[in-house]
Amino acid sequence: MLTQTQWDEKSPFCPRCPFIGFFTYREFIEEKTNKVVKQFINCKFCGLYQELGKKPSLRWMVQCSKCQGYDWRFLNENKDCIGCKSKVEPKTNPLENPKHPFWELKLEILYRFREGSIPLANHLITHYPPNGGTICYYEGTNGSYLPYYGYLDEKLIYALGGVKRALRNLILFGLKHKIYLFLGLFYWKKIFKSFSEFIYVALHYYPQDVSKWCVSARELWRVGIESFGEQELWRLLCMVWQYDTAYRLRGLYLVKILDREALLQNPRKELKRALSELQAIEKEPSIAEKYKYAKKLLYLLCVPRIKKQLVKVVEKLDWEKIQPDKLDLWWMTWPRCKSVNFII
């Protein structure tokens, strides 16, 4: 059913194809009263037709035998050509006919909307939903459109990757040489300050508009500001959450399977249980290895101060805002996600 929220968002892509350029939002206004009498969406590529508040239906392409013009009709709807009043003949919808001339027109539309590129895909168009955030559509295989949260800037992705590797190496060094990890508990302020300066130098060329982040990233940022102020390490966490789909989907699934009350009572035990459950459905050996290191880091929660800070953050979080939304669940389903057997 087409909801008012979907109508207000005005996504440029057909929810059935999904293609751009053939999909429109239309409304009929009565001249005398100046009131809207009908609001609907329709796609002239796949035939989708749906009125506001009603279920979708399909229309079929027809072509005039005289002027060769195309039009759309419901099944069993007998109408002549609007232009020359000649008879029309049914045709196969362009979506089901790869040889239809609309496919060439589609390529021209794609070229017009192409704005840039990232290492894996071509950026087609950016959409800003009314509730905040940014959704960018990229070109997938077979003419499909892949929606991502946030604009995937190539240089920003590489900068984040460098900082993530540095943090990973620092953690692995501490876990392999536990004496340094122990000493780090006494010099954590100096280590934290030095690494924060490193993060700032690496990422300050990429200023962020938090209002254009996804809901879960904005919620994490809000709680971080209230709890710690503008800390660079927390900024890194939120930026990775926003721009790294692999990390965000695993993080959202971890939140989904966590018991909030159990987390508040015994954070280490509950996180260890959830990480083990996530590790069991992981298919990437290199990432499965990281869960082992993550579970070792949970021993830090034996330090009362760290445990207290975590509980404080969990209490402030709006749990509903850091759950997987429709787009996240879409990416979690096979075959889009092949590295984790998410149980949705």
Residue 27 in contact with residue 38, Cβ under 8 Å? yes
| Residue 43, strand partner residues | 23
Helix (H), strand (E) at residue 149: strand 145-149
> Which ranges of the chain have pLDDT less than 70?
18, 107-124, 139-145, 150-154, 180-181, 184-185, 334-336
Q: What is the pLDDT of residue 72?
A: 86
Q: What is the pLDDT of residue 140?
A: 60
Distances (CA, A) of 83 to 89, 94, 259: 14, 21, 63
Q: Give the whole-angstrom CA distance, residue 275 versus residue 240.
A: 19
The reported pTM is 0.64
Q: What is the DSSP string of 281-320?
A: TB--HHHHHHHHHHHHHGGGGGSHHHHHHHHHHHHHS-GG
Q: Provide φ and ψ at 117, rounded to 5°.
A: -155, 160
- Token couple for 54: 């009603």
Residue 156 in contact with residue 206, Cβ under 8 Å? yes
Q: What is the pLDDT of residue 143?
A: 53
Q: Residue-wise over 76-97: b if at least 16 C-beta within 10 A, else e?
A: eeeeebeeeeeebeeeebbbee
